[in-house]
Amino acid sequence: MTDVTVYFQVHQPFRLRRYTFFDIGTSEAYFDDGENERIVRRVAERCYLPMNALVRKLIEKHEGAFRVAYSISGVALQQMERWVPEALASFQDLAATGCVEILGETSHHSLCALTDLDEFRDQVNAQSDRVEKLFGKRPTTFRNTELVIDKRIAKTAEELGFRALLGEGADHLLGWRSPHDVYRPEGCDHLRLLLRDYVRSDDIAFRFSNRTWEEWPLSAERFAKWIHEAPPRDAAVNLFMDYETFGEHQWEETGIFRFFEGMPAAVLRDGRFRFRTPGEVAAEREPVHEMAIPRPVSWADAERDVTAWLGNPMQRAANEALYAVLPAVRALAAAGDPAPQETWRKLSTSDHLYYMCTKWFSDGDVHKYFSPYATPHDAFIAFMNVVDDFGRRARRAAGSLTQAPAPNLAHEAP
């Protein structure tokens, strides 16, 4: 048997408002709640609600033979709880079918694993707690922000109790090996590594509505034929993509919903193939090779590395400025004030650095599509103004914690 795993990333950041130099010292209103509410409501209407209804329909139609997985970022959960609770309820309804796996990730969709492993552990544990509370089961599969993995991240995920890890089937990582095998990351004892088939995944996520693509228009039957061409020895064809592909990035008018509705039946026509969640694959399959991951690998851009977020001086300066505030934020949280930590974590969301990317050509077009700013420099200025103000406030508040009250030297009257 060859397994087909379908995994969706659900994420919406807390976008910043246009915070200027003149706001520093006068305003703590960093986030554009009006815009964040507008966007999450729009995405819920176009994607989350209709796709969740379709996935539920397919689960019932195929009597549980169709199975999928989701990773829902903590900041997306916050926004759904606040502005579109019906969308969150529809995800909970899917999880209750027993055919949907909810994965673990960082609570704020951050790249903290690259800078501070203690913060990484805290965010991962916080997200696992939240998933268990909302969906009734603690996650056992880990998907790091933007599929960023390396040897340290894999080992830390294993130490946190995860049994499976998702990654990108990047050519420079695999070499001669196949993304359809199950691997064990170097340095880990039992963690299973499942790698994305980026060709088949991107056929849906990026090329589906491209009229210049030689395979346009893509039918469910032709896509299933490509899946069926996998050699019999292959363990799993892993299709990982943003959930917003459906209805938001690829509009309903492109036929993306009709395609997805027909895809499970087309795949299942060949009895060698079955749908499984990542956790089920990890539980049922032994690793065939150890995988060395000496440098971070992600699913972004042609390079499949972390240059989408830390590739230019603006991005690195912004990241350094943010993490310079972390000691003050931790001191305040330890003293019983968690609000600055929550603000800091919202600022750690990877999107803020992504908006500062200065890549050109096709990858640059993707970056511009997702950015609410006119230029990467505009994104950098807005972010740095916020970090400047927030850092001053956090350090001032943390400094007051260490200032012991002056002793009372007055003598009482006899």
Convert the pLDDT of each residue in 70-98 to its tens digit: 999 999 999 999 999 999 999 999 999 99
Residue 370 pLDDT: 58
CA–CA separation, 359 and 230 (whole Å): 34
Does 144 share its domain with 260? yes
**Same-domain pairing of 238 and 330:** no
Q: What's the CATH number where 114 sits?
A: 3.20.110.20
For residue 49, which amino acid is it? L
Q: Are residues 21 and 133 in the same domain?
A: yes
User: Would you call 362 exposed, middle or buried from its count of C-beta atoms within 10 A (0-12, 13-18, 19+)?
Assistant: exposed
Is 342 found in the same domain as 284?
Answer: no
Instruction: Identify the weakest region by mean pLDDT among 224-228, 334-338, 400-404.
Output: 400-404
Side chain identity at residue 163, one-letter code: R
Q: Among the three residues 256, 291, 326, which one is the final residue of a domain in this structure?
A: 291
Quick: pLDDT tens for 206-241.
999 999 999 999 999 999 999 999 999 999 999 999
Nearest CA among 255, 245, 293, 335 for reference residue 43: 245
- 134-143 per-position pLDDT tens digit: 999 999 999 9
d(CA 276, CA 123): 27
Mean pLDDT of 333-340: 97
Please give the structure tokens belonging to residue 189: 């004892």
Q: Which of 291, 325, 347 is the last residue of a domain?
A: 291
Q: Is residue 301 part of a domain?
A: no
How far does Cα 6 stand from its chain's mean position?
15
Asked, for residue 180, whether it belongs to a domain, the answer is yes
pLDDT at 64: 97
Q: Are residues 64 and 189 in the same domain?
A: yes
Using the 3D structure, point to which of 291, 319, 353 is the last residue of a domain. Answer: 291
Same domain (yes/no): 113, 255 = yes
By the 10 Å C-beta count (0-12 exposed, 13-18 middle, 19+ buried), 345 is classed as: buried
Q: What pLDDT score does 116 carry? A: 98
Q: In angstroms, rounded to a whole number, what is the distance separating the alpha carbons of residues 285 and 288?
A: 9
Residue 302 lies in a domain: no
Distance between CA atoms of residues 318 and 124, nearest Å: 23
Reply yes or no on whether the pLDDT at 371 is more than 70: yes
**pLDDT at residue 92 in the model:** 98
Q: Let me know if residue 330 belongs to a domain.
A: yes
pLDDT tens per residue, range 11-65: 999 999 999 999 999 999 999 999 999 999 999 999 999 999 999 999 999 999 9
- Look at residue 358 and tell me if it is in a domain: yes
Give pLDDT, residue 363. Answer: 46
- Same-domain status, 134 and 206: yes
* Whether 126 and 160 share a structural domain: yes
Q: Could you tell me the two tokens for 316?
A: 């690195």
273 and 128 co-located in one domain: yes
On whether both 59 and 208 belong to a single domain, the answer is yes
Q: What is the pLDDT of residue 360?
A: 65
Which has the higher per-residue pLDDT, 163 or 413? 163
Q: What is the arithmetic mean of pLDDT over 401-409?
A: 54
Q: Both 364 and 255 in a single domain?
A: no
Q: Has residue 303 been placed in a domain? A: no
CA distances from 356 to 347, 377, 381 (A): 14, 6, 10
How far apart are the C-alpha atoms of 167 and 238, rounded to whole Å? 10
Answer whether residue 414 is part of any domain.
no
Pairing of strands 2-10, 273-275: parallel
pLDDT for residue 403: 61
Percent of the chain with pLDDT over 70: 94
**Whether residue 217 has a cis bond before it, omega within 30° of 0:** yes
**Residue 412, domain member (yes or no):** no
Please provide the average confidence, as pLDDT, over all residues in the chain.
94
**Residue 132 bears catalytic tag:** no
Range of the domain at 149: 2-291
Choose, from 119, 146, 168, 280, the residue flagged as catalytic: 146
Number of domains composing the chain: 2
Average pLDDT over residues 330-339: 97
User: Can you give the pLDDT at residue 9?
Assistant: 98
Q: Does pLDDT of 368 surpass 60? A: no
Question: Do 149 and 266 fall within a single domain?
Answer: yes
More confident residue, 129 or 359: 129
